[in-house]
Amino acid sequence: MDSTQAVVQGLVEGLTEFLPISSTAHLRLVPALLGWPDTGAAFGAVIQLGALVAVILYFARDLLGITVATVKAPFNPEARASLDARLGLFVIVGTIPVGVAGLLLKHQIEGDLRSLWVIACALIGLALVLLWAERSARHTRTLAELRLTDAFIIGCAQAVALMPGASRSGVTLTAALLLGMRRDDAARFSFLLSIPALGAAGVFELGDLRRAIDAGVLSTSHAILGIAVACVSALVAIAWLMRFLRTRSTLIFVGYRIVLGLVLIALLATGHLTAFD
């Protein structure tokens, strides 16, 4: 890996992590199209730390309120009843499914599931579910109306995003919409729920990244460069999506996912790409 590849990978990660179009799919597809070697799941997980920093910065005020209320909740009934304390509990409960699934499916996630065929099918499959959610959901419930069971359901959906091509933000946003949430509130909870998962994934993969650096596959400076670029581009993507969903639907992402999936299938079917490029 060189500096150009690190910058491009960081840019791709940052712009696609929080849009419902799958960062993992793009981190696999862009190098394949450019003829670069696959940098592996470890590098992708580590540069997600840049996206993690971005979402923490963007929601810093919310996170401070949630943290304070969550700490006070066991000792203060008034704090326990607040929306911030409930959101803290919801994020904890919603993170459990992806944590369990990540530990159980680590080898599959880093192996067979990285096939471009899997990614293409996941891109199209979730697009159709998101389309169904857009057409059938009420789009009326707010964060204040979220329940613990809703948080667990959305958390289970987040576990599905371990399949490359599904999209963490895509599946959690879709699940929240199917539960009747407004688009902007669904996106807000999706982003808050992503924080523990992104942090855990990045830290968990540091060992594999260390081994890749020791083997000369990439350097520490390239990893840092990728993280920094991912942070800046993710901030831009979060701010844009939050504004966009206040007045628009997710149909543009449905169309993008279907087109990208079909193009990928065509490239694989004609031999221009192979499943594990």
pTM over 0.95: no
Q: What integer pLDDT is reported at residue 42 of this predicted model? A: 64
Answer whether 84's CB lies under 8 Å from 90's CB: no
Please list the pLDDT of the chain residue by residue as tens digits (277 residues): 788 888 999 999 999 999 999 988 898 888 888 888 766 666 777 788 899 999 999 999 999 999 999 999 988 888 888 999 999 999 999 999 998 988 887 777 666 777 889 999 999 999 999 999 999 988 999 999 999 999 999 999 999 988 888 999 999 999 999 999 999 999 999 999 999 988 887 777 677 667 767 766 667 888 899 999 999 999 999 999 999 999 999 999 999 999 999 999 999 999 888 876 6
Q: Which amino acid is at 101?
A: A
Distance CA 66, CA 62 (A): 6
Q: What integer pLDDT is reported at residue 277 of this predicted model? A: 61
Exposure letters 237-262 (e unless 16+ CB within 10 A, then b): bbeebbebbeeebbeebbeebbebbe
Length of the chain: 277
Q: What integer pLDDT is reported at residue 2 of this predicted model? A: 80
Q: What integer pLDDT is reported at residue 263 of this predicted model? A: 92
Helix extents (H) in 59-164: 60-72, 77-80, 83-104, 106-110, 116-136, 148-160
